[in-house]
Copies of this chain bind each other. A is one copy, B any other.
């Protein structure tokens, strides 16, 4: 396995179309990386994988360490091999990430960004686990819970996905956060950093794993992709 490989289980299209079943045990996912983001069975919280340990931030708030048999619906993981890029102070997250991407000329490739330090303000969200029959990702997004924190130390894991991969992943930046003390985290909606160090890892190989034994996936009608962009923009 090349170190600069991003392994992805599932697609965003599957989430949009309500294929929310957890189809990969965490223990299997961890064979493909020690750092990453994702979501669990029925969109059971927002996942953060850090130093080979899986955490879930669900609607209760604090991060919970996950068991090996936790079922993952969607995830992006890799083996951490970041190199330090730059420190940033007192800047909005969107500006910071744009600067990182532009200065690394990385807009056409998958690109992993790791941000460690103090966040001045950060707003995250998490979702409540759904059970079958699953609602659409759009309906789940309407029922999400939001959290806010100030002056919090932690790690933000970001994957940048080029435009043409919208629907496979989330095109643009996809950020999950985990506080150092595990008290807070989730899918990042907005943030301003106070004092952080940004490291980067260019991705050369994108390895997508599909659950070709899952009958619901195989039987789904996934031929209409016209509404994908709209739903992903709203819910991610």
Contact = CB atoms under 8 A, between A and B. Distances in A.
Contact of A168 (B168, B202, B210, B225): B168
A219 B217 CA distance: 37
A205 interface: yes
A207 interface: yes
B164 A222 contact: yes
Nearest to A108: B222
A164 B108 contact: no
When all copies of this chain in the complex are counted, the total is 2
B210 A206 contact: yes
Given A222-B163, A225-B163, A207 B205 contact: yes
Contacts of A233: none
Contacts of A165: 168
Contacts of A219: 105
Interface string A199-234: 000111111111010000111101111001000000
Contact of A228 (B164, B209, B222): B164
A162 interface: yes
A164 B11 contact: yes
Interface size range on A against B: 20 to 34
Contacts of A109: 210, 212, 218
Interface of A: 11, 13, 105-110, 162-168, 202-210, 212, 217-220, 222-225, 228
Given A109-B210, A205-B210, 10 more contacts: A105-B218, A107-B223, A108-B222, A163-B222, A164-B167, A165-B168, A204-B209, A205-B207, A205-B209, A208-B208
11 contacts: A106-B218, A107-B222, A109-B210, A109-B212, A163-B222, A163-B225, A165-B168, A205-B208, A205-B209, A206-B210, A207-B208
